[in-house]
Amino acid sequence: MLETIFGGRKPVFIAEIGLNHNGDINVAEKMIEKAAESGAHAVKFQTFLPELMNSPLTSSLMNGAAEPVKDFSIQEFFRTFIFSKEQWLRLKKKSEECGVLFFSAPFDLPSVELLESINVPLYKIASSEVTNPSLLKKVASTGKPVILSTGMSTEAEIDTAIKILEENGAGEIVLLHCVSLYPLDDSEANLSRIVSLRERFGKPVGISDHSRDYASVMIAAALGAAVVEKHFKLADDHDCPDKDVSLSPAHFREMITAAERGSLMAGNGKIEFSGRETETARGARRSLFAAKDLTAGSILSETDIHCLRPGTGIPASRLFEFTGRKLKTDVKEGSILKPEYFL
């Protein structure tokens, strides 16, 4: 997925527009433009039917009411964020014009069918839907790549979700480490879980970040995050549902710079030195020098040799290769020893 759709970019930066458009198509288009200008590779929305997401008994059940009563206010709240198929096509076209990938997280089967009808290239499974087998099966049946967020999910639940996706034809699966808190504190970030997920499931792993800033994204990038998803807003004072965990265009650009720096600083992990450090080693390491005047035919002992800087001659680490060997030429005290001086 990362290779074929995003041209091998790592990390892939996704601007999570989600519901921050407030149901205004013009705001949504503006957010796509600003996300593209901010360096995002993709924009992500949410697609759902309110009546297939929340029961009208939700409020009563959550409050532990003895006699649950219907309350449609939560459905009506989410209904304000719905776009028509024509509007989704408009947003997809705007994304293409801006050079960013458009996709969405569906929350029900009809929403998958809607997104298929406009030919989205991949799908996002929200953390809340990891345990929704019908939705997982439906998304998998499209054969398209899937980004699976893993907030509030156990290892067993993630394993089951992956199996459902794979057994039903999903394309490449990318996992996102996520903590489903809005916002979360530093002590709750658990960024080491990125490594644990990668080692446990053998999949590319990224992060869906719900912190107030982007410090965790820099660390995640250093840990090898393949994808960075961050909520996006038009400005610092943009009033929207996820404003507390969203970044403005300027801060989104700063996040990308920080993440790229984190990736760069992480390096390749090889236990060796190279590049500019090689010149440091030349000056700081030691070579073999004559500790006194030495005559041809002498068999050198350790006391005949000093290990001195710079490290431009025989490395001091080879000292014991040259003790016990015979010189074939005179060597003045303080001279650097060379291999050709020995028999």
Domain final position from 221, 241, 266: 266
Contacts of residue 61, defined as CB under 8 A and 6 or more positions apart, other chains included, come to 55, 68
Does a structural domain hold residue 14? Answer: yes
Contacts of residue 304, defined as CB under 8 A and 6 or more positions apart, other chains included, come to 290, 291, 292, 294, 298, 323
**88 and 137 inside one domain:** yes
Does a structural domain hold residue 313? Answer: yes
**163 and 298 inside one domain:** no
| Phi, psi for 157 (deg, rounded to 5) | -70, -40
CATH of the domain at 330: 3.90.1210.10
**252 and 285 inside one domain:** no
Q: Nearest to residue 329, comparing CAs of 285, 279, 290?
A: 290
CA pair distance 109, 263, nearest whole angstrom: 37
Range of the domain at 323: 279-341
Bond from prior residue into 339 cis (ω within 30 degrees of 0): no
Contacts of residue 216, defined as CB under 8 A and 6 or more positions apart, other chains included, come to 186, 189, 191, 207, 209
**293 and 259 inside one domain:** no
Neighbours of 320 (CB within 10 A): 8
pLDDT of residue 8: 82
Does a structural domain hold residue 272? Answer: no
What is the residue-level pLDDT of the chain in tens, covering all 343 positions?
Answer: 667 888 888 899 999 999 999 999 999 999 999 999 999 999 999 999 999 999 999 999 999 988 899 999 999 999 999 999 999 999 999 999 999 999 999 999 999 999 999 999 999 999 999 999 999 999 999 999 999 999 999 999 999 999 999 999 999 999 999 999 999 999 999 999 999 999 999 999 999 999 999 999 999 999 999 999 999 999 999 999 999 999 999 999 999 999 999 999 999 999 999 999 999 999 999 999 999 999 999 999 999 999 999 999 999 999 999 999 999 999 999 999 999 999 9
**286 and 334 inside one domain:** yes
Structure tokens at 49: 């039917």
**74 and 155 inside one domain:** yes
**255 and 311 inside one domain:** no
Q: Nearest to residue 309, comparing CAs of 284, 333, 275, 274?
A: 284
CA pair distance 332, 65, nearest whole angstrom: 97
Does a structural domain hold residue 191? Answer: yes
pLDDT of residue 1: 62
**262 and 288 inside one domain:** no
Domain final position from 266, 298, 332: 266
- How many domains is the chain partitioned into structurally? 2
Does a structural domain hold residue 20? Answer: yes
Domain final position from 266, 290, 313: 266
Does a structural domain hold residue 273? Answer: no
